[in-house]
């Protein structure tokens, strides 16, 4: 899609930015019901608020999707009426937008490319107005007196901009108070007005978008090929056949993620059929027939290819299994599951500080971890643990990082923990799957985070986009390929999901981020974590006001909010964890109980909860 900057081109003159857009000299007509299309199949959906905030989670499951119908052009419609009808019909994508094309001139019917992108605008906020027309328009009456063959009118469309989806299904959230504006030429053709320069995109009311689009995670691999790494894409729920998802998977990840993940599919492998197709057999098996490159894949590589396909297609209705083929011949694939980490395993008991000592919080309360240094006299805070058993904790008012394993001797004869890093106001640590402990002085030096392993080796992870910011919290995902970071810059709060690019030995080297944050305009943030492979959680506020618990799909396309007790600043969660836990301001660990938060039994003297991994 073209940028929202003011400009001109075949797709009309477009503009966007903070504040509302003006719509021309004539008073525009509010099109509150512009996209109120007929729904043949209905169901519960999550509706967004205005701006960049959506209530409800991303639809990652094959819920029923309504079929949308639209009316063809009405005789005698005004230029504005034709534009309204065209936009309304653009929501009905079945049969290649056949109804919407009836509103176009013969030339634009051939040139219009609606699948180039989707513009999502605020619910009920679309405004359509004639621009500088000297003749009043009429939807119900006959042709306008001066409307002869070839007459041209300009119709301006404006709306609050919520977000955009590009041709490959990538969502981008619009900054707060952004607006969408486009001026369309409408030409008199054979006694009727028709749109001559439609933009190569579809404009959808946010409620309609939620009715017909679904989020589908494409599944890639971490560099060690031990974990699945999802990237969320948005496609129409009635049309994202297995074919579309497999084709996008073979195309690869987005540029910001590309250097942090890999794939088992050989370079150059494509769907063999023309046009590309992934048919389903009667048993629900998706038959993925690839080009010759797939034939040379070894058995382990084939098993990983099938695992990626199964995980990518599991949300497509009717798909129960996958059959790999090359040039029409079935490939033999090992029956054993490669055992990839995909976020479904239950998290282990959280680590806490109990009486100043490292402990695990299980059903019987806090149990002190044996064979670890007693740090109770060192002003400890912010413990962390890795899935491999590595522990980390900050001491001396967050000026030292201690790391170790219970069974290993530490420095100076102390069991298990030793100082590996010192700094000013170190950020609470996060232990990644490779055993690297991430932290940084809150005032980031030169756009770099720090990571240290159990031996004390320190690496500086390049993150130039953090230069000049104060880092508040971070957590690496269970797959090790992404990290969520909360930071402040000149009072502005930021939440970023970055790709972790690693060296050949697994040491983190740099972080890559998308062009735009998933939550532009965030008012405040104090802590972050991973709820599952496609959802992060944060303590923060979307606008000035009380802090809340935010559940955010990694691309920012969907947000759920819930209230938290006043004064809470720290949370913990993990992929596979049953619930989010909060660090109570007055001691104890809070867990949700319906709409309330209660102290978890046995945690009354515990603080600083942290799930491993």
User: Which candidate, 132, 4, 123, places its Cα nearest to that of 79?
Assistant: 132
Within a domain: residue 6?
A: no
Say yes or no: 325 and 356 in one domain. no
C-alpha distances in angstroms, 560 versus 46, 208, 238, 277, 551?
10, 19, 25, 36, 5
Is the Cβ–Cβ distance between 452 and 458 less than 8 Å? yes
| pLDDT at residue 363, rounded to an integer | 85
Of 38-52, 229-243, 278-292, 361-375, least confident by mean pLDDT is 38-52
pLDDT for 578: 73
Q: Going along 85-141, which residue ranges are E strands?
A: 117-121, 127-130
Does 58 reside within a domain?
A: yes
CA dist 317 to 60, 63, 216, 232, Å?
Answer: 12, 9, 12, 18
Average pLDDT over residues 377-386: 96
Q: What is the CATH number of the domain that holds 603?
A: 2.120.10.30
3-state secondary structure of 559: strand
Residue 66 pLDDT level (bands cut at 50, 70, 90): low
| Residue 401, domain extent | 351-610
- Note whether 590 and 500 are same-domain residues: yes
* Residue 163 near residue 172 (C-beta atoms within 8 A): yes
- With 0-12 / 13-18 / 19 or more C-beta atoms within 10 angstroms meaning exposed / middle / buried, residue 363 is exposed
- Please determine, for residue 181, whether its predicted confidence score (pLDDT) is greater than 50: yes
Q: Region 41-63: what's the mean pLDDT?
A: 37
Verify that 141 and 197 share a domain, yes or no: yes
Give the Å distances, CA to CA, from 274 to 167, 242, 263, 277, 290: 20, 15, 23, 7, 11
Q: Are residues 316 and 384 in the same domain?
A: no
Question: What distance in Å separates the CA atoms of residue 108 and residue 102, rounded to the nearest whole number?
Answer: 10
The reported pLDDT for the residue numbered 144 is 53
Residues 486 and 600 in one domain: yes
**Predicted confidence (pLDDT) at residue 413 exceeds the cutoff of 70:** no
pLDDT tens across 188-237, in order?
999 999 999 999 999 999 999 998 899 999 999 999 999 999 999 999 87
HEC sequence for 389-416: CCEEEEECCCCEEEEECCCCECHHHCEC
In a domain, 246, yes or no: yes
- Inform me whether the pLDDT recorded for 410 exceeds 60: no
Task: Please report which confidence band the pLDDT of residue 347 belongs to, taking 50, 70 and 90 as the band edges.
Answer: confident
Reduce the DSSP state of residue 486 to 3 states and report it.
strand
- 363 falls within a domain: yes
Q: What is residue 146's predicted lDDT score, i.e. its pLDDT?
A: 63
Q: What are the φ and ψ backbone dihedral angles of 144, each rounded to 5 degrees?
A: -70, 150
Q: Mark 88-127 as b/e (b = at least 16 C-beta within 10 Å).
A: bbbbbbeeebebbbbbbbeebbeebebeebbbbbbbbbbb
Q: Same domain, yes or no, for 303 and 410?
A: no
Is residue 245 assigned to a domain? yes
Q: Say whether both 144 and 190 belong to one domain.
A: yes
Q: Which tokens belong to 517?
A: 């944050």
Considering the domain architecture, whether residues 466 and 575 belong to the same structural domain is answered as: yes
CA distances from 293 to 249, 267, 333, 423 (A): 16, 7, 15, 51
Q: Is there a contact between 584 and 608 (Cβ–Cβ < 8 Å)?
A: no
Higher pLDDT, 238 or 316: 316
- Has residue 546 been placed in a domain? yes
Q: Residue 544 in 3-state DSSP?
A: coil
Whether the pLDDT of residue 3 is over 80: the answer is no
Confidence of residue 70 (pLDDT cuts 50, 70, 90): confident
| CATH number of the structural domain spanning residue 285 | 3.30.300
Please indicate, yes or no, whether residues 373 and 324 belong to a single structural domain of this protein: no
- The pLDDT assigned to 152 comes to 92
- C-alpha to C-alpha distances, 353 to 302, 316, 414, 486, nearest whole angstrom: 45, 44, 18, 23
Q: What's the mean pLDDT when you consider all of the chain? A: 86
The most distant pair of C-alpha atoms in the chain lies apart, rounded to whole Å, by 97
Give percent above pLDDT 90 in the chain: 70
Residues 134 and 198 in one domain: yes
pLDDT range class, residue 133, cuts 50, 70, 90: low
CA angle 518, 520, 521 (to 5 degrees): 145
174 part of a folded domain = yes
Residue 346 is predicted with a pLDDT of: 66
Q: How many domains does the chain have?
A: 3
**Residue 344 pLDDT:** 64
Q: Is the pLDDT of residue 138 over 90?
A: no
Q: Is residue 68 scored above 80 in pLDDT? A: no
Q: Do 358 and 326 share a structural domain?
A: no
3 alpha carbon, distance to own chain's centre: 20
- pLDDT band of residue 472 (cuts 50, 70, 90) is very high
Residue 45 has pLDDT above 50, yes or no: no
Q: Are residues 142 and 189 in the same domain?
A: yes
* Rounded (5°) CA angle 557-558-562: 150
Confidence of residue 240 (pLDDT cuts 50, 70, 90): low
Cis, peptide link before residue 275, omega less than 30° from 0: yes
Residue 539 lies in a domain: yes
437 in Cβ contact with 392 (< 8 Å): yes
**What tens digit of pLDDT does each residue of 276-308 get?**
899 999 999 999 999 999 999 999 999 999 999
pLDDT number for residue 519: 92
Percent of the chain with pLDDT over 70: 84
């Amino acid at each position: 899609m073209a940028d929202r900057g003011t400009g001109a081109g075949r797709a009309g003159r477009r503009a966007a930015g903070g504040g509302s857009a003006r719509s021309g000299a004539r008073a525009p007509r509010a099109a509150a019901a512009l996209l109120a299309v007929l729904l043949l199949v209905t169901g519960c959906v999550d509706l967004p608020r205005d701006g960049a905030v959506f209530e409800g989670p991303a639809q990652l499951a094959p819920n029923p999707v309504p079929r949308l119908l639209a009316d063809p052009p009405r005789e005698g419609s005004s230029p504005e009426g034709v534009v309204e009808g065209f936009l309304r019909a653009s929501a009905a994508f079945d049969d290649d937008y056949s109804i919407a094309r009836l509103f176009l001139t013969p030339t634009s019917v051939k040139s219009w490319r609606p699948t180039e992108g989707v513009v999502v605008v605020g619910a009920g906020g679309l405004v359509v107005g004639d621009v500088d027309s000297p003749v009043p328009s009429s939807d119900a009456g006959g042709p306008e007196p001066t409307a002869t063959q070839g007459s041209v009118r300009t119709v301006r469309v404006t709306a609050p901009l919520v977000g955009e989806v590009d041709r490959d299904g990538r969502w981008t959230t619009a900054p707060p108070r952004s607006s969408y504006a486009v001026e369309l030429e409408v030409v008199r053709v054979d006694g009727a007005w028709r749109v001559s320069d439609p933009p190569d995109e579809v404009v959808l009311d946010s409620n309609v978008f939620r009715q017909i689009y679904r989020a589908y995670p494409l599944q890639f691999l971490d560099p060690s090929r031990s974990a699945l790494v999802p990237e969320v894409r948005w496609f129409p729920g009635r049309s994202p056949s297995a074919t579309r998802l497999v084709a996008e998977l073979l195309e690869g990840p987005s540029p910001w993620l590309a250097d942090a993940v890999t794939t088992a599919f050989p370079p150059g492998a494509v769907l063999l059929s023309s046009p590309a197709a992934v048919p389903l057999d009667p048993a629900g098996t998706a038959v993925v027939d690839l080009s010759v490159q797939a034939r040379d894949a070894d058995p382990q590589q084939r098993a990983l290819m099938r695992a990626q396909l199964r995980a990518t297609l599991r949300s497509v209705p009717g798909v129960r299994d996958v059959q790999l083929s090359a040039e029409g011949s079935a490939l033999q694939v090992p029956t054993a599951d490669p055992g990839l980490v995909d976020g479904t395993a239950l998290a282990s008991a959280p680590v806490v500080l109990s009486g100043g000592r490292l402990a695990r919080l299980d059903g019987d309360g806090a149990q002190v971890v044996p064979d670890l240094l007693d740090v109770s006299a060192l002003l400890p805070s912010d413990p962390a643990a890795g899935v491999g058993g590595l522990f980390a904790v900050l001491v001396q008012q967050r000026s030292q990082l201690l790391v170790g394993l219970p069974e290993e001797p530490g420095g100076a004869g102390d069991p298990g923990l030793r100082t590996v890093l010192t700094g000013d106001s170190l950020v609470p640590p996060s232990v990644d799957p490779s055993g690297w402990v991430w932290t940084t002085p809150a005032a980031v030096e030169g756009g770099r985070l720090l990571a240290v392993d159990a031996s004390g080796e320190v690496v500086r992870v390049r993150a130039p986009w953090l230069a000049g910011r104060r880092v508040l919290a971070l957590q690496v995902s269970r797959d090790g390929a992404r990290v969520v970071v909360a930071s402040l810059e000149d009072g502005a709060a930021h939440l970023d999901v970055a790709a972790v690019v690693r060296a050949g030995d697994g040491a983190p080297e740099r972080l890559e981020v998308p062009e735009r944050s998933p939550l532009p305009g965030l008012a405040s943030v104090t802590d972050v974590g991973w709820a599952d492979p496609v959802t992060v959680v944060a303590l923060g506020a979307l606008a000035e006001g009380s802090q809340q618990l935010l559940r955010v799909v990694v691309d920012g396309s969907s947000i759920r909010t819930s209230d938290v007790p006043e004064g809470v600043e720290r949370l913990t969660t993990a992929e596979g964890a049953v619930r989010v836990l909060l660090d109570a301001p007055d001691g104890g660990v809070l867990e949700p109980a319906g709409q309330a938060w209660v102290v978890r039994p046995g945690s009354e003297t515990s603080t600083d909860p942290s799930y491993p991994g």
